[in-house]
Amino acid sequence: MVTYVRRNLDDGYIQGMCDILAPLLVIFEDEALALECFTMLMSRLRENFPQRSGMDHCLMNLRSLIQVVDPQIFSMLTSTSDFTHLYFSYRWFLLDFKRELSYDSIFRVWETIWAAARTFSPHFSLFFALAMVTNYRDVIIGNNMDFTDMIKFFNEMAERHDCNRLLAAARAHVKCLQNLVQHLR
């Protein structure tokens, strides 16, 4: 971490970087390789860190996706000003879902996000976030969750999500949006 920070003095250390680095250190026995992978990962994630505009774009895009894919939950979420910016998902984008999933699951999700970026969309993480929301829509709507309830719920669900189900839902959301765009042409 010290080497990365010294190489990137303009960014410095941001809380959460260790969360992102930890899984890489588990996989790679060679710290130099882990550092290079972390550097590549940070080139994508650094825009989501404070004082950058990436997080605002992620939250705005997630909001738009929810509006298109699930208008009912969108209506519920936006009926109160607390949900306007979907801050309950802030940590998801900041740490690339690291705190939401177990180690085994985070490796699979990261690999999917990285592969998707090279094959069809650099925004698969948005669809995974959308899957996180829609997967629990019945719980969210049934309990009429407010902003605090949502944060508490997702904090309590950390590392207990069904990764396979979320990945399948994310892929289905991508396909749904592709079909919608195709139909509009």
- In the chain, the N- to C-terminal Cα span, in Å, equals 48
CA 31 to chain centre: 26
Domain ranges of the chain: 1-51, 52-184
How many CB atoms are closer than 10 A to CB 163? 19
What are the backbone dihedrals phi and psi of residue 136, each rounded to the nearest 5 degrees, phi first?
A: -110, 20
E strand or H helix that includes residue 93: helix 90-94
pLDDT of 47-102, one tens digit each? 888 878 889 999 999 999 999 999 999 998 888 766 667 889 999 999 999 999 99
- CA distance linking residue 126 with residue 129, whole number of Å: 5
Global confidence as pTM: 0.91
Cα diameter, the chain: 50
| 52-184: CATH number | 1.10.472.80
- CA distance linking residue 104 with residue 26, whole number of Å: 11
Say if CB 124 and CB 97 are below 8 A apart. Answer: no
Q: Which residues of 77-115 are buried (b: 16+ CB within 10 A; e: fewer)?
A: beeeebbebbebbebbbbbbbbbbbeeebbbebbebbbe
Residue 44 has what pLDDT?
87
Q: Is 98 helix (H, G, I), strand (E, B) or coil?
A: coil
- CA distance linking residue 84 with residue 36, whole number of Å: 37
pLDDT of 2-45, one tens digit each? 999 999 888 888 888 999 999 999 999 899 999 999 999 998 88
pLDDT of 149-169, one tens digit each? 999 999 999 999 999 999 999
| DSSP structural state of residue 28 | -
